[in-house]
Structure 1
């Protein structure tokens, strides 16, 4: 069986998170072939893989958004769309109602147009944009509106016309561009399509857009609505949608995913990687705070630094070690370094990407400061290394720390509100001052991971999922 994994802004260019999940999935299922269709942000990353491809990964096809946006077309075509096709694109652009991927497939099926820019650069679609502008955005400059629409829609129109690798199952790791592309694949090929929703992609994009400088304020709502619309189309196209925990499943339903398509498969961790790490000891030396996290805005390293500044005032010998990649957002890394200097902090180390299993034995408590997560592998790895965690209340963290309604194991750390550095500092200090509390919480985290979040359980679930998908077929996918 061959599975086509559709990734976006992650594998194989970014270390950790969804990328680690993809690598673990392929390595754990050597009996299946995988091909990766990767949608990246910038062409400068072409071929710069952060992972050694498993033997059963037979190839990676790369496409980059900046290269799509740099394409130029010299001719504007006229009269290429029917009235119904114009209306379909108008409804898509408005994003008020969930539409069927089949309607887009009729317009964008591969081979229909000589140029992938033909539809966007046609007078027919220009009329659609003008109509939408006059109805809802006429108080704003049209030039700004047009270039915003181009940035939003041109990549999707291009991607919908690309020929995907042949596969028995198409599997997207997000509901953005790659989710809609997966819907196109199942429609054209009749092969099954599934989604794994790690966080809630559309909500993560919303948080990113609100804080961003690259989207003009007047158009932030338009971008946010667009990504929610893509998510609804992706949900409706997939035969199965896998989420990491029940709460995310409920959110997906609220966002338009049919409830009967939701399945829960938690992440799993290689606990044996940490088998050499002893249980937490009261070593009597400087208290070591650790964070296994790439340095990026969504991980909110600034809140962690502010919390550590408070810890440092109370415990001058405390140290902070931030273990994760520094390549994703150099500007944000620079802000973090400036913040360290501004706060007058000492004993803060940014290690870059390191073998985590070699560093965790040195840590007394681990911290996750993210403003958005799914089910973070870093927390499960910390638990596997017998370390308690202080996390923000995002994604599945509350369930990991406190357990669900059927879990009687106890508490494995503490949960605080996102961006609340004072509460974070309080919890770090509370654990720092009580070794027995740290030790008992670490034991709970280890037991919870062993019971519910092992790599073997994770792989077994997806082995079954792929087999059942192939046996059942797409149930609704059709050739156009």
Structure 2
């Protein structure tokens, strides 16, 4: 089977959220061929280079999402009219509603800001299904125009696009927030749409590109899935979408600093795009139930959803998990990226309460800051720690006696990630926003008892093998940590149960096996797009059944059967013939 992996800011680049699990998936399915189509996010992202690629990666095609020079395409009058009609229709749909199915997102405190951005624009007069069809028609119309005329970059940046957006916002019946858009708002929205629609101008959708694969697998929603959406439209290639973090949720949370008009229009665009991707996908694989609920409320058909947990390498944590006695009985450990969403402030206040009752306890905060905001937050946390523990911070033995330490992986105290988890009796997660908590799963591989806040997929990951408390509640966090610090037998029991659960659900092996089965299921339900012809030039119906894609001794036998006329089940209604390369026919 030939699979097209679609990524945005991930595999095969060294950095990127999707790089590790994509690399493990590709290496675990050595019996298949992979074509990688990658959108890069920045010049630095490209300069960091690629991961070493296995032999089953047949080719890699990349495109910069962060820059698009004017392609110099000059549309004629007819093409300009087509663009104005399609873009105007797209803008009209955005002004008619924010999100599919009403866009009601009422799950968890971390989504409150997202709801605030769209709350004033959820009522629509037109049926949602009609709006979805109009959005799809406009989107594919723009894609077809780009395919025929050579690109959309100049057109999307033109005054025609801004004026079409303005007319849609001023039209009777437009949402109040859209009607209030000012010129700076229109320019901001037009620039964002130009950036988001850049994949429409790529030359990836021909027969020698995505048209040659058996299946497109998008490693995330949004921009990564858009090429798969177009490949399905142009050539009928089935699409599988995996979301370990729902991109639509990310857009909602990131738009809080914009004006109401900008938030409304961008939420409408990303909501409609997500709904169209979900509608056209053969299957959607969320990484947890939290993501699954988001997808359902954004228009995903429940029958298409298959939860597949991230595949993680348990090997580096095996020694720690099998040696629970290495843990320091009075030490709490936090591991992750240092940023405000991790709420280390609440953790420090909770530890202050713990340290009053148990002066011998220690807290190790292990992680690097995430960008300038993370660096500023780390400085603030260090200042708070010095304020909460003035005696230890200013005493003659400040370095050795300070109960709070800030460390990074690779230092003398924590040379590896496994060493960080090994040093603590209890692993703590204090986040107020979380998707799939990777650090929590790693702690479970290490057989450590955990205390976590109830956010994202935490409860689903823990599954009763750790303690869970409300977010932003230092007292509850302190009481839960104290309960485990004072009960070593309970810690050992919970740690053993956590390790067993992690080994059952979150390993690379289970992830690879799940996707392999889904690949075969999708291909077995899709019509044959390339017919095999016999000696007379007539198509051979059912010449490439699903099992023919699986290497093994039966493949050659199946080919011989087809050459002789095929088995009894091959005599069915004819399949429309399409051109097939010789290499594809051989498979």
Smaller-chain TM-score bracket: 0.7 to 0.9
Which secondary structure does the structure 2 equivalent of 1:281 belong to? helix
Q: Is the CA contact (8 Å cut-off) linking 2:185 and 2:261 kept in structure 1? A: no
1:159 is aligned, of 199, 211, 230, to 199
2:371 is aligned, of 323, 326, 329, to 329
Question: CA 1:392/1:465 → structure 2, altered by over 3 Å: closer, same or farther?
Answer: same
Specify the alignment match of 1:442 in structure 2.
495
1:141 matches 2:182: yes
Deviates more, 1:278-287 or 1:261-270: 278-287
Specify the alignment match of 2:19 in structure 1.
19
Task: Flag the structure with higher helix content.
Answer: 2
Q: Is the CA contact (8 Å cut-off) linking 1:232 and 1:257 kept in structure 2? A: yes
1:108 matches 2:143: yes
Specify the alignment match of 2:430 in structure 1.
369
Specify the alignment match of 1:281 in structure 2.
325
Question: CA 1:207/1:390 → structure 2, altered by over 3 Å: closer, same or farther?
Answer: farther
Which secondary structure does the structure 2 equivalent of 1:264 belong to? coil
Mapped partners of 2:473, 2:60: distance in 1: 41
Mapped partners of 1:370, 1:14: distance in 2: 26
Map 1:285-300 → 2, pairs under 5 A? 286-291=330-335, 293-300=336-343
Q: Is the CA contact (8 Å cut-off) linking 1:289 and 1:363 kept in structure 2? A: yes
Question: CA 1:108/1:145 → structure 2, altered by over 3 Å: closer, same or farther?
Answer: same
2:276 is aligned, of 217, 233, 236, to 233
Map 1:132-281 → 2, pairs under 5 A? 132-134=168-170, 135=174, 136=176, 137-142=178-183, 144-164=184-204, 165-166=209-210, 167-210=213-256, 213=257, 215-216=258-259, 219-277=262-320, 278-281=322-325
1:342 matches 2:388: no
Structure 2 residue ranges without an equivalent (≥5): 98-130, 390-401, 530-575, 579-587
Q: 1:29 Cα deviation (Å)?
A: 1.4
Q: Deviations over 1:234-260 (max 9, x none)?
A: 111211111233453343222101222
Q: Deviations over 1:113-136 (max 9, x none)?
A: 344313313454333211133244
Q: Is the CA contact (8 Å cut-off) linking 2:5 and 2:216 kept in structure 1? A: yes
Q: Deviations over 1:360-392 (max 9, x none)?
A: 222222223334444333322211111122223
Q: 1:470 Cα deviation (Å)?
A: 2.8
Q: Is the CA contact (8 Å cut-off) linking 2:165 and 2:190 kept in structure 1? A: no
Specify the alignment match of 1:67 in structure 2.
67
Specify the alignment match of 2:101 in structure 1.
none
- Higher RCO, Cα 8 Å, sep 6+: 1
Question: CA 1:10/1:394 → structure 2, altered by over 3 Å: closer, same or farther?
Answer: farther
1:130 matches 2:187: no
Which secondary structure does the structure 1 equivalent of 2:53 belong to? coil
Q: 1:442 Cα deviation (Å)?
A: 0.6
Q: 1:426 Cα deviation (Å)?
A: 3.0
Which secondary structure does the structure 2 equivalent of 1:191 belong to? coil
Q: Is the CA contact (8 Å cut-off) linking 2:339 and 2:373 kept in structure 1? A: no
Mapped partners of 1:122, 1:160: distance in 2: 16
Mapped partners of 1:5, 1:364: distance in 2: 40
Matched residue count? 463
CA RMSD of aligned residues (A): 3.4
Q: 1:46 Cα deviation (Å)?
A: 1.0
Which secondary structure does the structure 1 equivalent of 2:27 belong to? helix
Q: Deviations over 1:391-410 (max 9, x none)?
A: 23233211222x3xxxxxxx
What is the TM-score of this pair, normalised by structure 2? Answer: 0.70
Q: Is the CA contact (8 Å cut-off) linking 2:216 and 2:239 kept in structure 1? A: yes
Which secondary structure does the structure 2 equivalent of 1:195 belong to? strand
What is the TM-score of this pair, normalised by structure 1? Answer: 0.84
